[in-house]
Amino acid sequence: MPESHASHRPRIIAIANQKGGVGKTTTAINLATALAASGEQILLIDADPQGNASTGLGIDQSIRNGGSYALLSGEQTLGQLALPTTVQNLFIVPAVADLIGADLEFGQYDRREFLLRDAIHSGNSAAGTIFIDCPPGLGLLTLNALVAADAVLVPLQCEFFALEGISQLMRTIDMVKHRLNPTLALEGIVLTMVDRRNNLAEQVSADVRGHFGTQVFETVIPRSIRITESPSHGLPVLLYDFRSAGAQAYLNLAAEFLRRQKARV
Ligand SMILES: Nc1ncnc2c1ncn2[C@@H]1O[C@H](COP(=O)(O)OP(=O)(O)OP(=O)(O)O)[C@@H](O)[C@H]1O
Ligand SMILES: [Mg+2]
């Protein structure tokens, strides 16, 4: 990816939820794609050993190089590791299998929670926004993302234990703020895989909005078969089926994301 010569710093957003399968990667890929389409350079760092964001963007194993593992270990820089994707303006630092051992391997390092932050700060990426796709769980990789980030975006699936799960995540975010990254903010909560015919989902969604108010994005992501299909084609849903409800929802989410960002400035 092109390096920046200006002294600008990208905004860094961690996409996190310790619960698995709630739409973190889908949101990372499609929000990043929608923002890239608006002309901004976007970088996605795949910090999940599963490598779903890398596969979902069609990045073949053979070209992944050191990926985010080499970034964390300091072996290679952001500029060396970021690869172009089929989406114009969207670059990715893919995940590689070595990342599975990260907790054990980097757990011994003095600055173990700061590895990603240090790597991002020492490279001068031209990206305006960097998204970090976190693995499920609250291990060292997620911690590194929360320490590197300016803000955390939380995809939330509206199901029975949703509120309990999210309070645990909020406690972790508070812990990170107090001990490691005082300026970490909550970018917002995105309700994902929403099925309007499901009464429980409606109830949970109302509870989450009652509790978190305007921190919940107005845009909701509906359950959509096109979203489920798109990763197996190595494409964001926006390229796979632009007219689908899922693609349009992510376009709306990107517009709301930009509006909220502007309002904050
Ligand atoms: N709105 C949606 N409609 C239909 N299927 C979806 C939707 N969002 C995500 N999915 C599907 O649900 C599964 C889990 O989504 P995703 O991989 O984005 O979750 P995740 O939180 O990143 O999971 P993990 O914790 O394992 O990393 C995937 O198969 C994905 O294609
Ligand atoms: Mg994922």
The one-character DSSP state at 150 is S
Ligand lying closest to the C-alpha of residue 54: 2
pLDDT of residue 2: 64
CATH of residue 176: 3.40.50.300
Whole-angstrom distance, CA of residue 50 vs CA of residue 36: 24
**How high is the pLDDT of residue 211?**
93
| Ligand nearest to the backbone CA of 228 | 1
pLDDT (0 to 100) of residue 4: 60
Contact, 251 vs 237, CB < 8 A? no
The per-residue pLDDT for 159 is 87
Q: Do 15 and 132 touch, CB atoms closer than 8 A? A: yes
H-type alpha helices, the chain = 24-37, 52-56, 67-73, 78-81, 102-106, 115-122, 140-148, 162-179, 199-212, 225-229, 237-240, 245-264
- What is the C-alpha R_g of the chain? 17
| Tens-place pLDDT, residues 44-80 | 999 999 999 999 999 999 999 899 999 999 999 999 9
- pTM to 2 decimal places: 0.97
Residue 68 DSSP code: H
Q: How far is CA 8 from CA 74, 149, 157, 221, in A?
A: 22, 16, 35, 32
Q: Is residue 39, in this structure, part of any structural domain at all?
A: yes
Distances (CA, A) of 178 to 114, 141, 222, 249: 15, 18, 35, 35
* Residue 212 domain-assigned (yes or no): yes
Domain assignment of residue 49, yes or no:
yes
Number of domains in the chain: 1
**Could you read off the pLDDT tens digit of each residue along the chain, which spans 265 residues?**
666 655 578 999 999 999 999 999 999 999 999 999 999 999 999 999 999 999 999 999 999 989 999 999 999 999 999 999 999 999 999 999 999 999 999 999 999 999 999 999 998 788 999 999 999 999 999 999 999 999 999 999 988 888 888 999 999 999 999 999 999 999 999 999 999 888 888 899 999 999 999 999 999 999 999 999 999 999 999 999 999 999 999 999 999 999 999 998 7
Residue identifier of the C-alpha nearest atom 20 of ligand 1: 21
pLDDT tens, 231-253? 999 999 999 999 999 999 999 99
Query: How much is the pLDDT for 191?
Result: 97
Asked if residue 177 is part of any domain, the answer here is: yes
How far the first Cα of the chain sits from its last, in Å, is 27
**Domain, as residue range, for 138:** 11-254
Task: Using the atom order of ligand 1, give the atom closest to the CA of residue 136.
Answer: 25
Q: Is 179 inside any structural domain?
A: yes
Tell me which residues have their CB closer than 6 angstroms to ligand 1: 20-26, 48, 50, 52, 135-136, 192-193, 221, 223-224, 227-228, 231, 246
Backbone angles phi, psi at 165, to 5 degrees: -60, -40
Return the residue whose CA atom lies nearest to atom 30 of ligand 1: 228
